Amino acid sequence: MNYALYMPNVQTPSLTVDVDSDVSIVQQIVNGLRGALVRGDLAPGDSLPSSRALGRDLGVHFNTVAQAYRMLEAEGWLALKRRAGTVVRERPNPALEDAENLALTDSFKKELLDLRTRYQALGVEREALDSALEDLIETRRISK
Amino acid sequence: MNYALYMPNVQTPSLTVDVDSDVSIVQQIVNGLRGALVRGDLAPGDSLPSSRALGRDLGVHFNTVAQAYRMLEAEGWLALKRRAGTVVRERPNPALEDAENLALTDSFKKELLDLRTRYQALGVEREALDSALEDLIETRRISK
DNA sequence: GTTTAATGTACATTCATCACATACATTGAC
DNA sequence: GTCAATGTATGTGATGAATGTACATTAAAC
């Protein structure tokens, strides 16, 4: 089942959770919120729903949401305060050492390759995957 | 720790396993072998090491390798026979219904977007990620 | 200022999964 | 036919995921 959350700065619903997915619910929430944060749909100063409210909307336990919030807090995106709720923080992009940067880029390439290979093995045509890759690059060019 | 396996049709070692990774060992083996199968480094008729031999080389338990073999058997890549060992099968690319194809392409886009966003949030520059994407497209064009 | 209710935090529980250990069934080689 | 190498089946301890429940904090209401 999928549920939706409405962001303060965007009209279309985002943050859906698929209980049947093989990626954990916490990770799905983290991915969805991180995407909104990177896109700017959630901006510094914005308040997020309480873990209980979001858990209710998503159909999961509030502790599951709370854990996702804490992971995003650890990444520097959110500030969590008791009773006051969860707020988006100002978050400068982390500066990386060259070595870290190279290592991360390599990991990215490896994950990317595995991802593409997996869908290719499932029978998706090369052209469809290629154009999805192109689309991602293009989208980024336009949006920035 | 990383270990290496030598494929019959390729000089450079492949299939490394990282115990500290957050992706499971079985999945790493599946990913590595599937990559070799899709690339053609492992071709129909090729024999794979026994689960015990590969487990020894990789430094993991042979049942872990056996499980990976069985997953690839379920995908249609391998034929497992007792005593005779594991052999690469002829495997036509699965034909997909249009609906499946669209759904898979959507999943691919979603996973791709999450992947890129995650590394972007880690501080990797947009240009590095973009060029990795471009490289993947280019590599595929050349190799096929 | 006191009370109160809403929020995040902490810990226990249940269940699934991972990697491994061990015993077994099968079967090609000799 | 015997044997040893291979895959198969089942059990186990550890880890993690999602939830249940109780608690600590604190902004808001009065």
Give residue-wise pLDDT tens across range A54-99: 999 999 999 999 999 999 999 999 999 999 999 999 999 999 999 9
Distance from residue A69 (CA) to nucleotide C1 (C1'), in Å?
Answer: 34
Give the span between the Cα atoms of B30 and B17, in whole angstroms: 11
Nearest to A64, CA basis, from A15, A7, A111:
A15
pLDDT at res. B140: 60
pLDDT at res. B3: 46
> Average pLDDT of chain A?
89
A65, A54 contact by CB (below 8 A): yes
**Taking 50 as the threshold, does the pLDDT of residue A2 lie above it?**
no
Sequence-separated (6 or more) residues with CB below 8 Å from residue A1: A18, A19, A59
Determine the distance from the C-alpha atom of residue A128 to the mean position of all C-alpha atoms in its chain, rounded to a whole number.
Answer: 23
Side chain identity, residue A130: D
Reading the block at residue A66, the tokens are 């709370």
pLDDT at res. A141: 65
pLDDT band at B136 (very low <50, low <70, confident <90, very high): very high
Protein residue minimizing CA–C1' distance to D6: B83
> Average pLDDT of chain B?
89
Nearest to A17, CA basis, from A6, A7, A3, A31:
A3
The answer to whether B22 CB is within 7 Å of strand C is: no
Backbone angles phi, psi at A80, to 5 degrees: -110, 125
Determine the distance from the C-alpha atom of residue B61 to the mean position of all C-alpha atoms in its chain, rounded to a whole number.
Answer: 19
Q: Closest approach of chain B CAs to the CA of A85, in angstroms?
A: 23
**Closest chain A residue by Cα to residue B127:** A137
- Give chain B positions within 8 Å (CB) of A144: 126
According to DSSP, the β-strands at A47-48 and B78-81 are: unpaired
Residues 8-67 of A with CB under 7 A from strand D: 24-27, 55, 60-61, 63-64, 67
Q: What is the per-residue DSSP string for A34-75?
A: HHHHHHTSS-TTPEEPPHHHHHHHHTS-HHHHHHHHHHHHHT
A125/B112 Cβ within 8 A: no
Higher-confidence residue: B7 or A111? A111
Residue B99, chain A, CB below 8 Å: the answer is no
pLDDT band at B142 (very low <50, low <70, confident <90, very high): low
